[in-house]
Structure 1
Amino acid sequence: MLAHAWPALFGFLLSGCSALGSVGADTFTLEGELPADFALKAQAHYGGSESCSSRGHVESFKEDYEKAPHGYRFEIPVSYRDGLCDLQLVRVGLFIYGRYGEKDWQQTYDNGELMVVSKAASEDNNNVSALPSPIYSECSWLFQESKLNLEISKLLSCKGAGARLNRKQLPQQTVILTFTVNPREEPYRDNTWIEFPEGWRPCLPKEGWQQCQDPPVFKTYRNNNIECTIYPNCTE
């Protein structure tokens, strides 16, 4: 999953059709660890049966950025009452945010999802564990030259940020989802930078293409208003 623009963070809480709704008593706990300069938003989506198919509701939970590695803990209701409709939790959308600088544009996010299913086996015949195992998601930074900001910009890719959860076993359960960062950064597009022992060097593209010329012709790039030849150390 690749990153997206920042403004989705901390948007308006989407509400259901009734302002008089209430969450159910049963909850499950979603908790884990976040790296430094990471934040997390979880959106719990609720839906109804056929007679209440037009009803829906979303509850949002968030853990903000911190300079050091930090934990998070969300108590997520497994049901929601909207008038005469009992809405059940169907999925939890995840927004994993990371920042790599102090400027407003130097932050981005990737997505994950926890699906809540009623059967012990999903539609693709994968078994759904009654007792969810800890989930570990590794996030990687993918760098590129930003034509808009004329500096290095990065995208975030988080693998494994999802699972299927058994609805009947979910109340009072604790689901552990922990995020780590791969220390190795790679280019966003293949064959646009070439790796050397000292780091990555950008190269001029073929005419009409994004990939490097063959043999490669190297160029400079700018980062923090400095002309550089190699990433991430700028100079060899």
Structure 2
Amino acid sequence: MHIQHFTHQCLRAVCISVMAWAVSGCSLLQTESFNFQAELPENFTISATTYYDAASGESCPGHKVIKSDQPKGTQLIELKLPLTEKVKGCSRVLKSVVLNIKGRWGERELDMSLQKAALYIRDEPTETTRPFPASGPLVFQGQCQWFFRTVGSRRFIRKILQCRALDANGIVQKSLAGGSMLRDGLAGRTVKLVLTEAKEEEPAFGDSWVKFPAGWKRCMGKGPDDFYGFCYGKTTDFVPFKMPDGRDCTVYPNCTE
């Protein structure tokens, strides 16, 4: 009986040790990742493609993993992105995260536009590498701008999305939304991308529309069938166009003057 009792105690101790090791192992694995958050305008979705490369001294090829879109209608998402991974014995480290942004501007399935943002993980600091704050998330600001244009002989309105980084003063930059950060200190931290939507839409081709108090008018260009319809300095010759719902309009976005 004493031997049986002792055996039970040993088995119990081993089980507890194994469970403790498993929990400890999980917590260690968790520190080898970081949290990515995205705050999005209405009717926007985002997904992340993570790119890994061979760790120093290894010759295994690179690898990528695609993360799925957030649930429909969710404007604040969160993904846990591993900083390392091992595939078939090869150790890989996270090098970059490409963020695929989809914005919807209409009710039809094709009434959407795609744009990208990116996060880069650096091993050494550069001029553009952002330092981590003492507490809280590392935030990258960006602004998405809608550009409108007409397509086809009937001049239907279509929209193009462009998302660019914002500097500390809120000035739109030429670079894509996102930025770079150091690998050291990234584990366990939160990186957040905050995207806003520009209040006003702009023409995709600046010299093909003229702005009036009632809205934008589409220049005729060389004639009603001119694909681009550049104004060429003329601000009196305009052509009608069609909204996505089929309405014939003379000014955008108000349709009528």
Shift of 1:32: 2.9
Q: Determine which of 18, 43, 61 is the counterpart of 2:49.
A: 43
Higher relative contact order (Cα pairs below 8 Å, separated by 6+ residues): 1
Cα RMSD for the two superposed structures: 2.1
TM-score by length of 1: 0.81
Q: In the alignment, which residue of structure 2 is the partner of 1:95?
A: 100
Distance 1:228 1:219, change over 3 A: same
The verdict on how the C-alpha distance between 1:33 and 1:94 changes in structure 2, with shifts beyond 3 A counting, is: same
- 1:36-115 aligned at under 5 Å gives the runs 36-49=42-55, 52-61=58-67, 62-66=69-73, 70-115=75-120
Which residues in structure 2 correspond to 1:75-224 (within 5 Å)?
A: 75-119=80-124, 121-122=125-126, 125-131=127-133, 133-147=138-152, 150-160=155-165, 161-206=177-222, 210-216=229-235, 217-223=237-243, 224=245
Normalised by the size of structure 2, how large is the TM-score?
0.75
Cα gap change, 1:143 to 1:180, in 2 (>3 Å): same
Q: Matched residues in 2 for 1:137 and 1:218: separation?
A: 35
Q: Deviations over 1:127-147 (max 9, x none)?
A: 441446311111110000022
Is the Cα contact below 8 Å between 2:128 and 2:180 reproduced in 1? no
Picking from 247, 253, 256, the partner of 1:226 is 247
- Residue 202 of structure 1 aligns with an amino acid whose one-letter code is R
Structure 2: 5+ residue runs without aligned partners? 1-28, 166-176
Shift of 1:195: 0.4
User: How many aligned positions are there?
Assistant: 208
Task: Measure the CA separation in 1 of the matches of 2:83 and 2:208.
Answer: 46
Q: Which whole-Å CA distance do the structure 2 matches of 1:227 and 1:179 have between them?
A: 33
Distance of aligned partners of 1:46 and 1:38 in 2 relative to their CA distance in 1, 3 Å threshold: same
Query: Over alpha carbons, which structure has the higher Rg?
Result: 2
Mark the CA change 1:149 to 1:73 in structure 2 (over 3 Å): closer, same or farther: farther
- Please state if 1:29 is matched with 2:35: yes
Q: Distance in 2 between matches of 1:190 and 1:215?
A: 14
Structure with bigger helix share is 2
Bigger shift: residues 128-137 or 161-170: 128-137
Deviation (angstroms), 1:214: 2.9
* 3-state secondary structure, aligned to 1:110: strand
Deviation sequence 1:79-127 (CA, Å, 0-9, x none): 11012211000000011110011112101111111000001x22xx334
Q: Give yes or no for contact 1:38–1:65 (8 Å, CA) kept in 2.
A: no
One-letter amino acid of the counterpart of residue 41, structure 1: S
